[in-house]
Chains A and B, each alone.
Chain A
Amino acid sequence: MSATRKGLVTFAAIDHAAALATALAKSRGEIIAEVTASKLKGRGGAGFPTGVKWNLAAAARGDAKYVICNADEGEPGTFKDRVILSEVPDLVFAGMTIGGVAIGAPRGIVYLRGEYAYLRAQLEAVLARRRAAKLLGPSVMGTAVSFDIEIRMGSGAYVCGEETALIESLEGQRGEPRNRPPFPVDTGLQGQPTIVNNVETFACVAAIFARGAAWFASIGTEKSTGPKLFSISGDCARPGVYEFPMGITVADLLKEVGGEDAKAVQIGGASGRCVPASEFARTISYEDISTGGSVIVFGPQRDMLAVAKNFMEFFVEESCGQCTPCREGNAKLLEGIEMLEEGRCSAAYLDELLTLGEVMQNASKCGLGQSSPNAFLSIVAHYRDELMGRSHGRAR
């Protein structure tokens, strides 16, 4: 691998119009079969097979189905979607259009996070250009397909990245996640069958129709196909967006970005896991360490308790407060971290906190609560000794 891994290596070379034309020449069934054959999995982090999702939405009955692009990129340490939307927005819009054809939806919505409001004007300009070029509108590329896309803005709530909270928000409600099932593919926006996919997933769809499912499936590993974008930040010489095949080891990735001396890396953002140096031989893939692409590097000097505290503060702030395990649990874990900081947390109480973390993983309503204790649990698992026995300036 060379320096060419930095940036949108594959996506920059994809012809979005050719991809759309290829898809439009296929039947709905053929489009879904192609996506399924590519083995593309959701790029937001959860890794649900895109072909399966589309097939369910295509089979579901509804008067007006929807295609939603989840551009509420709020996971700490993730910024690849911002780069995709800045540099290759046409790929995303082409992917959404293909999704619209596949499930029979005439409307697409991009839910763009409020923090990215500065991207809106240029995205609207791209949409206008696409309408003028007949890549969107009542007759896409002269076919009977009608599809258009609108942009809706988020208003600063991390939880809206959860697909049902995002739908609630689009319906004018508080961004509180719904119970699943029913899943959005059956009962989504306005009760209609809806696919919600990540920005990068839609760009991958365009790439698949430009280069073929076989090409896509030939990259990466058996279960984790295609190129993947990584957002790299923290203590490394060359942070930024990188493209690697799935299945790369943590050590190889660190070498590429200049972070070889790392003490640990957080993979998957605040809701992900902390991987210590002893496990850098593990691979980043759906089979091993799954991620939406956030990699935060911690250098040798970092205090892992401070890291855990920053993540817990994030979750205390961003919990929607709807269910008890998440609302109360995160506050309790943060309180525990403050006790560790002040050196007044017993080993027994720390074990209680770990149990609480497991309860939160099992009992929280949505992905936010279920994953919020991950960072704390993995940091305690690997750095227990570093966290305990602090005196915090107390006199003996």
Chain B
Amino acid sequence: MLQTEQQRLKEDIGRWVERYGAQRSSLIPVLQEVQAKYTEISEYAMQEVADHLGIHPVEVYSVVTFYSFLGEEHRGKFVIRLCRTISCDMAGKERIASQLENDLGIRFGETTRDGKFTLQWANCIGMCDQGPALLVNDNVFTGVTSEKVHDILQLCRKSFGPLAVHGNRHEEARR
């Protein structure tokens, strides 16, 4: 990690601890912030959070490894979680799974080499009457078809890199 990025992480954690309070019950909210912004909770981050809350870093590690939405490993900018539980399974989640793997060129549990997409399974996401369903970060997509997979991925791709579409530029163009 670059010194500057480490410094930024350190400052962020200090800010989040201040916001939630320097007590044990703030641990998960702080870790959720780290996860959302950095898409991973590094050893450095765990040590830093532990120092702020006055607990052993292993305590932080044990929490990070318990919750499926928190993790040490680097996850993509977009974490796609396809529901694999019974109703979505019966609604045809297998085909969606294959299409996601084909379009991204990775298997479940992996991250694309450009670090943009991570593919994971989710257990019941509460969209059982509208399956197959998946989450892309915090957003939910229901009634997903193999064809719709492509649209969902394009929607993600349009928010970064050469395909990026920025709302403001469109606004300007219209004026």
Contact = CB atoms under 8 A, between A and B. Distances in A.
Interface residues of A, number: 51
Contact of A169 (B28, B128, B130, B138): B28
B86 A311 contact: yes
A75 B125 CA distance: 9
Contacts of B140: 118
B86 A239 contact: no
Given A115-B135, A157-B66, A240-B129, A233 B32 contact: no
A188 to B, nearest CB: 13
Interface in B131-145: 131, 135, 138-140
7 contacts: A76-B86, A77-B124, A79-B126, A79-B129, A156-B69, A296-B87, A307-B86
Interface residues of B, number: 37
Interface in B58-114: 62-63, 66-70, 84-87, 89-90
Nearest to A235: B90
Interface of A: 73-79, 81-82, 113-118, 152-158, 169-175, 190, 231-235, 239-241, 266, 270, 296, 298, 302, 307, 310-311, 313-314, 317-318, 320
Given A156-B68, A296-B86, A310-B89, A317 B129 contact: no
Contact of A73 (B31, B62, B126, B135): B126
Nearest to A315: B123
Contacts of A317: 123
A164 B85 CA distance: 25
B122 A115 contact: yes
Contacts of A154: 69
A378 to B, nearest CB: 14
A235 B92 CA distance: 12
B32 A155 contact: yes
Interface of A is mostly: mixed
B128 A82 contact: no
B28 A233 contact: no
Interface in B17-72: 23-29, 31-32, 53, 62-63, 66-70
B9 interface: no
B67 A172 contact: no
Contacts, number: 118
B29 A153 contact: yes
B127 interface: yes
A323 B29 CA distance: 27
A190 B21 CA distance: 15
Contacts of B28: 152-153, 155, 169, 172
Given A79-B128, A314-B123, A155 B90 contact: no
Contact of B63 (A74, A173, A234, A296): A173
Contacts of A240: 129
B88 to A, nearest CB: 9
Nearest to B123: A314
Nearest to B125: A115
A231 B128 contact: yes
A44 to B, nearest CB: 14
A73 B126 CA distance: 7
B25 A76 contact: no
Contacts of A156: 67-69, 122
Contact of A77 (B24, B32, B84, B86): B86
B20 to A, nearest CB: 10
Given A234-B87, A239-B129, 20 more contacts: A76-B124, A77-B86, A77-B128, A78-B124, A78-B126, A79-B127, A79-B129, A155-B28, A155-B67, A155-B69, A156-B122, A157-B68, A172-B28, A172-B53, A174-B66, A190-B25, A233-B131, A234-B86, A234-B90, A320-B66
A231 B87 CA distance: 11
